[in-house]
Structure 1
Amino acid sequence: MRIPQKPPPFTELVRQLTSGERFDAILEMTRHQSASEHYLHWDKLKRLKPPEGLSLEEWWFGTKLQRMGVLKSIPLQDKEGEPFRFGIPDLVQKELHAIDVGAGRSIGVPEPITNPQTRDRYLIRSLMEEAITSSQLEGAVTTREVAKEMIRSGRPPRDTSEQMIMNNFVTMQRITKLKDEPLTPKMVFDIHRLVTEKTLEDPTAAGRFRRADEKRVIGDDFSDVVYHDPPPAQELEGRLNAMCDFANAKSPNFFVHPVLRSIILHFWLAYDHPFWDGNGRTARALFYWSMLHNDYWLFEFISISNILRKAPIKYGRSFLYTETDDNDLTYFIVAQTKVIRRAIDELHIYIDRKTAEVREMESHVRALDLFNHRQVELIRHALKHPHQQYTVASHQKSNNVVYQTARTDLLDLRKRGVVDWKKRGRQMVFIAPGDLAQRLRKLEKQARQ
Structure 2
Amino acid sequence: MLTNEIFDHIYNEYTIKRYLNKPEILYRVQHEFLQIRANIWEEILEKRKMAGRKVPLKDQNGDFFWYMTTPPLEANLHNIDFVAKDKLENLVSEKIQNDIVMESIIDEAFYSSVIEGAFSTKKRTKELVQKKDPKNKSEKMILNNYNALMFILENLDKELDEDILIQLHKIITVDTLDDDEISEKYRDDMVYVMSENASAIEPIYVAPKPEDVQGMMDDLFSFIQDESKENYIHPVIKAWIIHFYFVYIHPFFDGNGRVARAISYMYLLKKGYAFFKFFSITSVLNRKTKKYYKAIKDSEDYGSDLTYFISSYSEITNESLTEVIERLYNEVQHEILLEQLESDEIILNERQKKFLSFMKKKESNICTINEYQKRNKVSYETARRDMNELQELGIFKKAKKGKKFIFKYLGLKGYSEY
TM range (shorter): 0.7 to 0.9
1:44 pairs with 2:17: no
- SS of match in other structure, 1:275: coil
Which residue identity is paired with 2:103?
R
1:130 pairs with 2:108: yes
1:314 pairs with 2:294: no
Partners of 1:71 and 1:184 in 2: CA distance:
28
More RCO (CA 8 Å, sep 6+): 1
CA 1:204/1:26 → structure 2, altered by over 3 Å: closer, same or farther? closer
Aligned Cα RMSD in Å?
Answer: 3.4
Partners of 2:345 and 2:258 in 1: CA distance:
41
| Contact 1:269 1:283 survives alignment (8 Å) | yes
Aligned to 2:191: 216
| Gap regions ≥5 residues in structure 1 | 1-20, 386-430, 442-449
- SS of match in other structure, 2:253: coil
Q: Please give the TM-score of this superposition, normalised by the length of structure 1.
A: 0.72
Aligned to 2:76: 95
1:332 pairs with 2:287: no
**Match for residue 341 of structure 1 among 318, 324, 331:** 318
Count of paired positions: 365
CA 1:110/1:144 → structure 2, altered by over 3 Å: closer, same or farther? farther
Which residue identity is paired with 2:20?
L
The residue correspondences of 1:387-402 to structure 2 (distance < 5 A) are: none
Which residue identity is paired with 1:66?
K
Aligned to 2:354: 381
- SS of match in other structure, 1:247: helix
The residue correspondences of 1:45-444 to structure 2 (distance < 5 A) are: 45-49=25-29, 55=36, 60-104=41-85, 106=86, 111-112=91-92, 115-151=93-129, 153-202=130-179, 205=182, 208-212=185-189, 215-221=190-196, 222=198, 223-249=200-226, 253-359=230-336, 380-381=353-354, 434=378
Q: CA deviation at 1:46?
A: 2.6
Aligned to 1:13: none
| Contact 2:96 2:331 survives alignment (8 Å) | no
Partners of 2:240 and 2:145 in 1: CA distance:
19
Q: Deviations over 1:159-181 (max 9, x none)?
A: 11111111001111111122232
CA 1:143/1:381 → structure 2, altered by over 3 Å: closer, same or farther? same
Q: Deviations over 1:89-130 (max 9, x none)?
A: 1111111101000101x4588823xx2232211110010001
Which residue identity is paired with 2:108?
E
- SS of match in other structure, 1:162: helix
State, as a whole percentage, how many aligned pairs show the same letter.
23
- SS of match in other structure, 1:226: coil
- SS of match in other structure, 2:204: strand
Q: CA deviation at 1:283?
A: 0.3
Q: CA deviation at 1:30?
A: 4.6
Q: CA deviation at 1:149?
A: 2.6
Q: CA deviation at 1:358?
A: 4.6
- SS of match in other structure, 1:158: coil
CA 1:110/1:278 → structure 2, altered by over 3 Å: closer, same or farther? farther
CA 1:49/1:134 → structure 2, altered by over 3 Å: closer, same or farther? same
CA 1:369/1:275 → structure 2, altered by over 3 Å: closer, same or farther? farther
- SS of match in other structure, 2:231: coil
Which residue identity is paired with 2:27?
R
